[in-house]
Chains A and B, each alone.
Chain A
Amino acid sequence: MVTPFGYFLTHLWLVPLFPLTSASLMLLIGRLLPKGAVSFLCVGSVFLSFVHAAGAVFELLAAPPAHRVFQSILFEWVTAGVMPTFGGATSFAADWGYLLDPLSSIMVLVVTGVGFLIHVYSIGYMGREGGYYRFFGYLNLFMFSMLTLVLANNLLLLFVGWEGVGLCSYLLIGFYFLKKSASDAGKKAFIVNRVGDTGFLLGIFFIATTFGTIRFTSQGLGDPRGFPGIFEVLAAMVKQGRLAFGAPVLTTIALLLFVGATGKSAQLPLYVWLPDAMEGPTPVSALIHAATMVTAGVYMVARMNAIYQLSPAAMDVVAVVGALTAVFAATMALAQTDIKKVLAYSTISQLGYMFLALGVGAFAAGIFHLMTHAFFKALLFLGAGSVIHALSGEQDLRKMGGLWNAIPATSRPFLVATLAIAGMPPLAGFFSKDEILGRTIARSAMLDRYLALWIIGVFTAGLTAFYMFRLLNLTFFGLSRIPHEVEHHIHESPKSMTIPLAILALLSIVGGWVALPALWGAESPFEKFLEPVLSGVIPETGAIQFAHHPLIIEFLLMAVSVAVAGFGIWLAYRLYLKFPHLHSKVAASWPRLHKLLNNKYYVDELYDAIFVNRIKDLSTAFALFDTRVIDGLGVDGSASLTRILSQISMWGDKWVVDGMVNFVGKFTQLLSHPVRMFQTGLFSSYAMWILIGLAILLGYYSRHMEVLVRHLR
């Protein structure tokens, strides 16, 4: 048992930490730093991550294939105690740990490598924009989140990274937040993602209750600490017969997880945020929406392949959704006039390819395509950014043309990338796309329904070649349609921008050569590398069965896909270059179709009507409830009530209390009034009263009077 070891592996936690540190620095003191310091810190941290990642992968390769798993747990994060599960009661724990195995090593290299190149590019691209430190801060925060996602050893930590990249996507899409369309796009991205995340979370909960753990595997740990991973529990359950092939609980979990992947990786029906996300700066589009974030969904499904392989229904769903997305997005890309929007739909389409691969069981092919796609799509986006930079901000294809010789350092790599995405040998895209299509048809030999998927895939390849060369022709060839004042300022981009382009072009060329042996029927080293991870739980029975065709059939099928791509390129040449106005005539002859495509099948409008406006109505209703009922009755009502009560009490005070007081006064006055009348101030009346008194007294006290009165009676 030789477990991997080494400095880089034990310090694997540094890989996400470097960008986190620089992001925090940007947050705290970024405002005060000069541009050079910001560039140095942020790009440097990503470079350090790349170096550490490369070193760690190197050390991992030193171990034999069966033991190429390294896990280190930093600390116990959530311990929940005993939890009842599908298989009995277990104690649940989630920790903060990093896992490096073949799958995550591919991912981490792609993320740090392409990420580093894009950081370098950004120095040039964002050099004259405002918010320089904020941009790099967000970008580094994104790197941290993505690396956490990729290196996570359990679903909870993966979800932390998942959410983190969602947040950074929002921040970066809405980077120019003063522009309403940009901030709206950021919100749209986040909210649509959120819809997917609901499914993802439910899937995680299901996994937790079914398996009692959310850690992927317990391999690679020096001391498993008694908590098994999903892989081990699943294997045990299947062996004990508690979970069968195609069990409903597994299908449910797989589908729920796929909902999350749909949101993050922009598949049908949650793809609507990606085209709008082009509002962000071009390096953001390159990094997040081409090379890394959108591939998180693919990575997640590949990571959970053990569950998927046991649920054929879910895999069918994945494959169908992937294929439909691919062709759907490709049709929309045909009619777009913004250079970045074309690339956005192209990304959705290529992601569909990846999910198609995953769905038919060719997990390695899907990851392979992910890697090559990262290279050429990043190159395409950065190249587009370079074009936009040269044309002082122009993004409309109708206002470009004839730039081939004007900006050669941009246009040559761009051509390479376009050829790659079209699937032309011997570039990278050919190998990965061919792998996917080959696997699809191999499966269809076993099950007929996959033939339809293969046909869709080939058709999409043709469409891809067509619209990509449309893009190329409109941008770089033909007569210049550039407005006069812009034409004067055409300049090549600085070295910081063109050197990454060159490097990515190189990678687009050679990146696919790891699968060269597959051409002549042997197993590709790539697939072999990934086999321990992607082989699933039961290599013998429930795993995917691929037919093995004779070599000649393989070559035939390869030729078919190349021919289709070539036809697409030729068509684009005819419509856009040879007869420059032919395409508008074609568009005019099918006006309704053109309009439909141009407006992206009115999907956004549909969503608005069904979901967005209904939610807005609900919010309005709640707001109304708040103002009328709570504010009205509660606050205002209680205020009015208090006022009424105080009025009553005032009335009481005025009439009752004061009334009593006044009554006392008035009564006294009433009583005293007659008495007061005595005080005339005139002594004569006083004298009179004395006399009267005397008479009365005398009459009363005189016995004689008494006697007389008695006598008289």
Chain B
Amino acid sequence: MMSPAHYLFLSLALFLIGSIGVITRRNVIVVLMSIELILNAVNINLVAFSRIFGDVSGQVFALFIIADAAAEAAVGLGIIIAFFRNRETVLADEMDLLKW
């Protein structure tokens, strides 16, 4: 077991990389994947601190997050497919219907 700092920094790094991915990538599927990455980073954090405090609630929470990630991925991909059916595109910068 490393010091909590290690896990925190790892979690931070993964979180930031995931954020960059969300902001930067044009392919929305990859964006969704980056979101999964962010969730994953949070999971690491939760599990690490659950280990530190000896409380299993963190892991329970992490489990819920995984379940939630699954649901979200399913719906999100459904949306993408529907969008793709209408617009023939999966590129983020072409999805600007809510533009001013």
Chain A residues packing against B (C-beta within 8 Å): 676-677, 679-685, 687-688, 691
- Given contact pairs A688-B23, A691-B23, A682 touches B92 in the complex (Cβ within 8 A): yes
For the complex formed, measure the closest distance between the CB of A246 and the CB atoms of chain B, giving whole angstroms: 115
- Given contact pairs A679-B98, A679-B100, A691 touches B19 in the complex (Cβ within 8 A): yes
B25 CB contacts on chain A under 8 angstroms: 684
A684 touches B100 (CB 8 A): no
- CA distance in complex: A596, B93 (Å): 116
B19 touches A682 (CB 8 A): no
Show 22 residue pairs from A and B whose CB-CB distance is below 8 angstroms, ordered by the A residue: A677-B100, A679-B98, A679-B99, A680-B100, A681-B95, A681-B96, A681-B99, A681-B100, A682-B92, A682-B93, A682-B96, A682-B99, A683-B92, A684-B23, A684-B24, A684-B25, A684-B31, A684-B93, A685-B23, A687-B22, A687-B23, A691-B19
In the complex formed, the residue of A with least CB distance to B25 is A684
For the complex formed, measure the closest distance between the CB of B19 and the CB atoms of chain A, giving whole angstroms: 6
Tell yes or no: B5 within 8 A of A by CB: no
In the complex formed, the residue of B with least CB distance to A689 is B23
Binary contact readout B80-100 vs A (1 if CB under 8 angstroms, 0 otherwise)? 000000000000110111111
- Given contact pairs A676-B100, A677-B100, A682 touches B22 in the complex (Cβ within 8 A): no
8 A-B pairs with the lowest CB-CB distances in the bound complex, closest first = A681-B96, A681-B99, A681-B98, A679-B100, A676-B100, A688-B23, A687-B22, A684-B23
Number of interface residues of B (CB under 8 A): 14
B19 CB contacts on chain A under 8 angstroms: 687, 691
A681 CB contacts on chain B under 8 angstroms: 95-100
- CA distance in complex: A691, B21 (Å): 12
- CA distance in complex: A684, B25 (Å): 8
Chain B residues packing against A (C-beta within 8 Å): 19, 22-25, 31, 92-93, 95-100
- CA distance in complex: A681, B94 (Å): 9
- CA distance in complex: A677, B99 (Å): 9
- CA distance in complex: A288, B79 (Å): 118
B99 CB contacts on chain A under 8 angstroms: 679-682
A688 CB contacts on chain B under 8 angstroms: 23
- CA distance in complex: A683, B91 (Å): 11
- CA distance in complex: A680, B24 (Å): 15
For the complex formed, measure the closest distance between the CB of B51 and the CB atoms of chain A, giving whole angstroms: 25
Pair count A-B, CB < 8 A: 36
In the complex formed, the residue of A with least CB distance to B19 is A691
For the complex formed, measure the closest distance between the CB of A705 and the CB atoms of chain B, giving whole angstroms: 16
In the complex formed, the residue of A with least CB distance to B92 is A684
Since A681-B97, A684-B92 are in contact, a sample of 15 more A-B pairs with Cβ atoms closer than 8 Å, ordered by chain A residue number, is: A679-B98, A679-B99, A680-B100, A681-B98, A681-B99, A683-B31, A683-B92, A683-B95, A684-B22, A684-B25, A684-B93, A687-B22, A688-B23, A691-B19, A691-B23
Q: Of residues A676, A680, A684, A691, which shows the largest number of chain B Cβ atoms within 10 Å of its Cβ?
A: A684
A684 CB contacts on chain B under 8 angstroms: 22-25, 31, 92-93
For the complex formed, measure the closest distance between the CB of B3 and the CB atoms of chain A, giving whole angstroms: 19
CB contact between B96 and one of A676, A680, A687, A691 (< 8 Å): that residue: A680
B93 CB contacts on chain A under 8 angstroms: 682, 684
For the complex formed, measure the closest distance between the CB of B13 and the CB atoms of chain A, giving whole angstroms: 15
In the complex formed, the residue of B with least CB distance to A683 is B92
- CA distance in complex: A683, B99 (Å): 10
B23 CB contacts on chain A under 8 angstroms: 684-685, 687-688, 691
For the complex formed, measure the closest distance between the CB of A48 and the CB atoms of chain B, giving whole angstroms: 107
In the complex formed, the residue of A with least CB distance to B94 is A682
A691 CB contacts on chain B under 8 angstroms: 19, 23
- CA distance in complex: A681, B24 (Å): 15
- CA distance in complex: A683, B31 (Å): 10
In the complex formed, the residue of A with least CB distance to B20 is A691
- CA distance in complex: A306, B83 (Å): 129
- CA distance in complex: A681, B23 (Å): 13
For the complex formed, measure the closest distance between the CB of A677 and the CB atoms of chain B, giving whole angstroms: 7
- CA distance in complex: A184, B66 (Å): 121
Q: Of residues B23, B24, B99, which shows the largest number of chain A Cβ atoms within 10 Å of its Cβ?
A: B23
- CA distance in complex: A679, B97 (Å): 10
- CA distance in complex: A677, B25 (Å): 21
- CA distance in complex: A676, B100 (Å): 6
For the complex formed, measure the closest distance between the CB of A100 and the CB atoms of chain B, giving whole angstroms: 112
- CA distance in complex: A684, B96 (Å): 10
In the complex formed, the residue of B with least CB distance to A677 is B100
In the complex formed, the residue of B with least CB distance to A688 is B23
- CA distance in complex: A682, B92 (Å): 7
In the complex formed, the residue of B with least CB distance to A679 is B100
In the complex formed, the residue of A with least CB distance to B93 is A682
- CA distance in complex: A687, B92 (Å): 12
In the complex formed, the residue of A with least CB distance to B97 is A681
- CA distance in complex: A466, B9 (Å): 156
- CA distance in complex: A677, B96 (Å): 13
For the complex formed, measure the closest distance between the CB of A668 and the CB atoms of chain B, giving whole angstroms: 14
For the complex formed, measure the closest distance between the CB of B38 and the CB atoms of chain A, giving whole angstroms: 10
- CA distance in complex: A276, B23 (Å): 116
- CA distance in complex: A683, B34 (Å): 13
For the complex formed, measure the closest distance between the CB of A475 and the CB atoms of chain B, giving whole angstroms: 113
For the complex formed, measure the closest distance between the CB of B100 and the CB atoms of chain A, giving whole angstroms: 4
In the complex formed, the residue of A with least CB distance to B96 is A681
For the complex formed, measure the closest distance between the CB of A656 and the CB atoms of chain B, giving whole angstroms: 32
- CA distance in complex: A687, B16 (Å): 12
- CA distance in complex: A682, B98 (Å): 8
- CA distance in complex: A680, B99 (Å): 5
A682 CB contacts on chain B under 8 angstroms: 92-93, 95-96, 99
- CA distance in complex: A688, B93 (Å): 14
B98 CB contacts on chain A under 8 angstroms: 679, 681
For the complex formed, measure the closest distance between the CB of B36 and the CB atoms of chain A, giving whole angstroms: 15
For the complex formed, measure the closest distance between the CB of B28 and the CB atoms of chain A, giving whole angstroms: 8
A683 CB contacts on chain B under 8 angstroms: 31, 92, 95
In the complex formed, the residue of A with least CB distance to B34 is A687
For the complex formed, measure the closest distance between the CB of B16 and the CB atoms of chain A, giving whole angstroms: 9
In the complex formed, the residue of B with least CB distance to A694 is B19
In the complex formed, the residue of A with least CB distance to B99 is A681
For the complex formed, measure the closest distance between the CB of A524 and the CB atoms of chain B, giving whole angstroms: 127
- CA distance in complex: A672, B93 (Å): 23
A687 CB contacts on chain B under 8 angstroms: 19, 22-23
- CA distance in complex: A682, B97 (Å): 8
- CA distance in complex: A691, B22 (Å): 11
B22 CB contacts on chain A under 8 angstroms: 684, 687
Q: Of residues A677, A680, A683, A691, which shows the largest number of chain B Cβ atoms within 10 Å of its Cβ?
A: A683
